[in-house]
Structures are given as structure tokens and as C-alpha cells.
Amino acid sequence: MAESYNDASVKSLDWKEHIRLRPGMYIGKLGDGAAHDDGIYVLIKEIIDNSIDEFVMGNGKYIEVEIADREVHVRDYGRGIPLGMVNACVSKMNTGAKYDSKVFKKAVGLNGVGTKAVNALSSHFSVQSFREGQSKLSIFEKGELILDGKVEPTTEKDGTKVTFIPDTELFGNYHFISDYIEKMLWNYAYLNNGLSLHFNGEKIQAKNGLHDLLENQIDGKLCYPIIHLKQDEFEFAFTHTKHYGEEYYSFVNGQHTTQGGTHLSAFREVIVKTIREFYNKNFEPSDVRSSIAAALSIKIQEPIFESQTKTKLGSQHIESEGQSIRNYIGDIVTTNLDNFLHRNPDVAEALLHKILLNQKERKEMAGIKKLVRDSAKKTSLHNKKLRDCKVHLNSNHEKNLETTLFITEGDSASGSITKSRDVSTQAVFSLKGKPLNSYGLSKKIVYQNEEFNLLQSALNIDEDMDNLRYNNIVIATDADVDGMHIRLLLLTFFLQFYPDLIKRGHLYILQTPLFRVRNKKKTIYCYSPEEKRSAIQKLGVNPEITRFKGLGEISPDEFKYFIGSDIRLDPVILRKDSAVSDLLEFYMGKNTMERQNFIIDNLRLEDDLTAEAS
């Protein structure tokens, strides 16, 4: 019988109820903090964006960010929210100063939405404005006003202080990863010369804009010094490295557009066009862009983004300039880069040399790729190794953020995951034994390796990282010596040939329980000896304790708990001071004695686990 549809079926939600019911509309996915784009980081960003907008308008050069446990504090020294509008600015939709382009010409924050979303999605939210010797404090819980403070005199400097705790009812057992927050703050610093940020006491400040960004992000040798140019509201910097692939950092009005958009497409196109014209050679686009590392930033009025979280620019035109983004960026890059190359012949020569090397490698690889494509057994092997998922795009034909590929070892482990996975969004790729140690090998040799060739095909990353088939790539190996070795070999492959996959936050390590503690009434899975001890205390005398030695020992019925909503993932993060070349040399190079001493010093960790299991 059809469900009745009448007056009672129609509901009207207030602002906070709608945000809490549909948080994805406001902050993208929720997540638990393991991924850089999880909701808890979007909440931090929305508050800081307001402080950045104040700085851009010439107010307040200092922003403090402190996080203790799950409580976030953000203090700026701008003008402060007008005291009579404090409550409205954080709890009344469609309220804010950013609708008046004279006040906020090129604002970063969401127009009157961002702070309200943070308020509604926090179990505790307080805002205090300091303005012209007076202050006002308001406190909310889940968007509900519980303290409407009076305006009182203060000696504090002008500005705004926001404190909030993301609600565990929505975000679950979340945790903040400092590396993600530091990266966010560094991006603000790169884009705002003169701005000083302090994160838990650490000063974050840049002096040379996007040049500093590339200098800090790129490890290893450069093919030529970083080219850094700027005109009007567009700034760009680039160089070529020894790494494979293309690496871009793009920004619009200070927003890190991780999915690119029209500005990045225009930049990639005009770089090829300008270099072709300068050398008067019709290079293949891939020969020009392979191994490029670039950063670009544009500021425009009222940009149009393709999502609420502003990760992809959709604007086609710059109204204030009366031309398309494509032509605007094209004119600036063509003029400035052409002039630079003419004035710097040594750089021009080094750039040409790199392009010719790319061209040579592409031609060598073409024959190998044809042989692989023509291999009759590739398709059947691919089907045996890959158990694909059903969904790769969402309703807007964008990449589904939940799509995950588990890379497993052996038939038993892959079988357990395959039987317990969500077939809509989770795929499984099964390795056969230990993969090749790719350290120091050329891409040509690695491409001929059947295991890695099929993995590249499954991920769809052979030609362009933008076509990555799964948003999350999860290495799922046993927590023993062999499993750790396989994990290291896979990390070596990704670090050497696809470091941008790691830098974009796509690679994770699956955590699986080390112990199962149970009695007749309850089962507790434990991921550490500490959790095991706690479980024994909870369950009482003589519970049954099992030490899992491999993924294959975990039944499909149990595995579904570890790769479902409570999945625990460790992100693979390249820290600012971590050089890929140094990491690979230490772990996979020939420094035998140094590595041997490191292993001996850390053997006690495995001994401790073994002792705990007994």
C-alpha cells in the first residue's frame, strides 16, 4: 500500500536541524579525521576563512589556532564582529557582510553559511567578539543558544575568538591529525604575505608566496630553479623535477581547489602553448607537462564553485576583467613566461633538455605499452586480480569520495575482504606474493612487471592522476614481518612513481585488530595491547583471548566490522620535512648497516606485542 501524502507529510526544519540532518550539503563528507578532506577539517577551515577575509581587507596580521584534545580555538585580531550582530552572524542563515562586494570583494569564506554550519555541527560552540573596548560572548550547543552574554567592557585587542568541539554524535570517534591542519595553515601563509599564524605555539609564515610553497613541497633535485611570476590577481610558479607525473597546487581566493577547475585547465593548456611557441616546436602536451610541479593562485569576484566545499572552480569568466578565465590566464602566462625565458637562457636550455628527455622516454614506453595492451592474457588476469565495485561516480558525475580499493596479499585475505565488503563502493585487488622492489628502477622496467602493470591499470593512473578510479587506496597486509615487507614494497612503488597520489591524500594503511577478547555475552576487538588490557577488565575473569596473526584468520563475518562504518585507516602522509628520495634510500637502498641498526633498535616493539599475546 502506498504511503499517504498529506499536510502532515510536509515538514519545515529550522536552520540547525537542516544542517544536522544534511551535513554533506554544507561540509562534504563527515569522516573521522583520517582523510584530509574530512568534515572536522572543513569546520576549522570555515572559521579561519573568516579571519583570513579580515586580513585581506587590511585588518589583523596575526591568527592563533590551538587544538587540545577535540577542542578547537581560533583567535584573530581583525575588527571583530559588530556586537549587535554576533548571534545572527553565527546562527541566522543568509546573514553576513560578504554579500556586499564593497566590504568583501574576494572573500574566502562561504557567504553567510560556513560559521553557521560549524555552530550546528558542534556539541559546544562559543563566539566572543572584542570591538572598540567592549566584548560580547555567546555560547551554543548543537546550534541552540544557551548563553546570550551582555556587552561588557574589555581590555582585549579587537578581534574574534571562536571555540568549538565537533559533535561526536555526527563525527563518531574522530581524531585530529596535526599534519593536515599544519598543511592548511601553511597554504594560508603562502597566499598571504605578511600574515603570521600560530598553531599550538608554532609560528607559520611565508615571505615569497608560491615560490615558498614549491620549495617546501618538492624534495630532491630540480631540473632548473623555480620560475615564479605574478601579474595583477594571478600568481604562478613552476619547475620540473625528477619525479613522474604532474603535481599541481591551485587556489582561488585563498581556497585550495584540490580538484582543480577552469583555472587549472587554462594553466595546463597555456603552459604547453607558450613553450611550443618559444621553442618553435610542436611538442606533445605530455612531454611538456610530465614531471612538472606547479602552483597557481587567482583572485576573482564572486567565483562559482562546483560544490559547497569549494574544491573545484566552475567559473568561466572574470566579470571585473570582462574576459574569460582561459584568456585572462593565457595572456598573463604567455607574456610573462616568454619574457622570462628570453631573459634567462640557462633556464630555457634546462627546460628544453627536460622536455626532450620526456619525449625520449614516452617513445620508448609506447612500444612496451602496445605489447602489454596486445597481451591476450591481460584481461583474464585483470579479472582474477580485481573484484571491482559497482559505483565510481556520484549523482553529479563527480568522483565518489567513498570509493575504495583494498590491495591485499594472498587468496585467503582477499577472499575474506571480498565476501564482507560493500560491493557498491569497495573493490579488492589481490597480490600474488611479494611485489617487485622498484627502488632505483626505471618506469620502463616496472611497467613490464605484470603485478604493477595490472595495479596501474586497476587504478587508472597510467596516464593522468586526475582519472584515478578510486578515491581511497588502502594497503591491507598482515601485521607480521612478511606483511610489513609487502607494505614497504608497495609504498616504494607509489613514492617513486606516483608521489602525488600520496600528497593528495589518497593512500592509507588498513588497521585490523591484533586481539579478540570475548566471553559468552560480548566480543571486543582490540587494536593494541592497551585496548586488550582494557577489554579484559571490562569482561571480567578469564575471557577468551585470540591473537590474530594474519588477515586470513579473520572470518568474513568478522571482517565486515573492520571495513564498514568503524573502519580504522592510517593515512600515509609526506611531512614537510620528509624527502622521498631520502626515505627510499634509507629503507630500500644499500645502506645495510645503518638500516640493520635501526631494525635492531626497534625489535623490542615486536617483542612487546608477542609478550602481550601470551
Question: In this structure, is residue 538 part of a structural domain?
Answer: no
Which one has a higher pLDDT value, 535 or 98? 535
Strand partners, 370: none
* Ordered alpha helix ranges (H), 138-228: 168-171, 178-191, 209-217
Task: Indicate the residue among 162, 188, 204 that finishes a domain.
Answer: 204
**pLDDT given at position 40:** 95
Domain match, 466 and 410 both = yes
Q: What 8-state DSSP symbol labels residue 129?
A: E
Q: Which single residue is written with the C-alpha cell 578547537?
A: 72
Residue 518 lies in a domain: no
3-state secondary structure (DSSP) of residue 152: strand
Same domain, 402 and 506: yes
Q: What is the pLDDT of residue 63?
A: 96
CB 196 within 8 A of CB 205: yes
pLDDT bin (cut points 50, 70, 90) of residue 209 is very high
DSSP bridge pairs for 203? 198
> Does any domain span residue 573?
yes
pLDDT tens-place string over residues 418-476: 888 999 999 999 988 788 888 877 777 777 888 888 888 888 886 667 778 898 999 99
Which residue has better confidence, 300 or 190? 190
Same domain, 552 and 421: yes
Q: Provide the pLDDT confidence category of residue 141 given band limits of 50, 70 and 90.
A: very high
**27 and 160 inside one domain:** yes
Q: Is the pLDDT of residue 326 over 80?
A: yes
User: For residue 551, what is the DSSP state?
Assistant: G
Positive or negative, the Cα torsion across 199, 201, 206, 212?
A: negative
pLDDT for the residue 449: 84
Q: Kindly state the percentage of the chain with pLDDT values over 70.
A: 83
Domain presence at residue 241: yes
Map grid coordinates 546573514 to a residue: 95
Give the end of a domain, one of 366, 391, 419: 366
Per-residue pLDDT tens over the stretch 161-197: 999 999 999 998 899 999 999 999 999 999 998 999 9
Is 42 in the same domain as 181?
yes
Distance between CA atoms of residues 351 and 239, nearest Å: 8
Please list the residues that pair with 228 across neighbouring strands. 237
pLDDT exceeds 50 at position 551:
yes
Return d(Cα 309, Cα 24) in angstroms, integer.
9
Q: Establish if 517 belongs to a structural domain.
A: no
Tell me how many domains the chain contains: 4
**Grid cell locating 96:** 553576513
- The reply to whether 2 falls in a domain is no
Per-residue pLDDT tens over the stretch 356-377: 999 998 888 877 777 666 654 5
Q: Are residues 186 and 272 in the same domain?
A: no
What CATH number is associated with residue 458?
A: 3.40.50.670
**Mean pLDDT of the 501-515 span:** 88
Average pLDDT over residues 253-259: 85
What pLDDT, on the 0 to 100 scale, is given for residue 219?
A: 76
Those residues with Cβ within 8 angstroms of residue 520's Cβ, 6 or more apart along the chain or in another chain: none
In terms of residue numbers, what domain contains 469?
A: 376-512+548-578
Does residue 396 lie in a domain region? yes
pLDDT at 609: 45
Average pLDDT over residues 117-145: 95
Are 324 and 313 within 8 A, CB to CB?
no
Domain boundary among 204, 236, 258: 204
Residues 422 and 564 in one domain: yes
410 and 336 inside one domain: no
Note whether residue 520 is domain-resident: no
Q: Are residues 277 and 354 in the same domain?
A: yes
**Number of CB atoms found within 10 A of residue 139's CB:** 16
Residue 135's closest CA among 88, 72, 97, 81? 81
What CATH number corresponds to the domain at position 29?
A: 3.30.565.10
The answer to whether residues 492 and 505 touch, using CB atoms and an 8 Å cutoff, is no
Q: Are residues 499 and 604 in the same domain?
A: no
In this prediction, residue 56 carries a pLDDT of 86
Among 41-55, 287-301, 401-415, 423-437, which stretch is predicted with the lowest mean pLDDT? 401-415
Please give, one letter per residue, the 3-state secondary structure of 233-264. Answer: CEEEEEEEECCCCCEEEEEECCEECCCCEHHH
Same-domain status, 154 and 34 = yes
Task: Answer yes or no: do 140 and 265 share one domain.
Answer: no
**What are the phi and psi torsion angles at 558 (to 5°)?**
-85, -35
CATH number of the structural domain spanning residue 301 = 3.30.230.10
Confidence of residue 103 (pLDDT cuts 50, 70, 90): very low
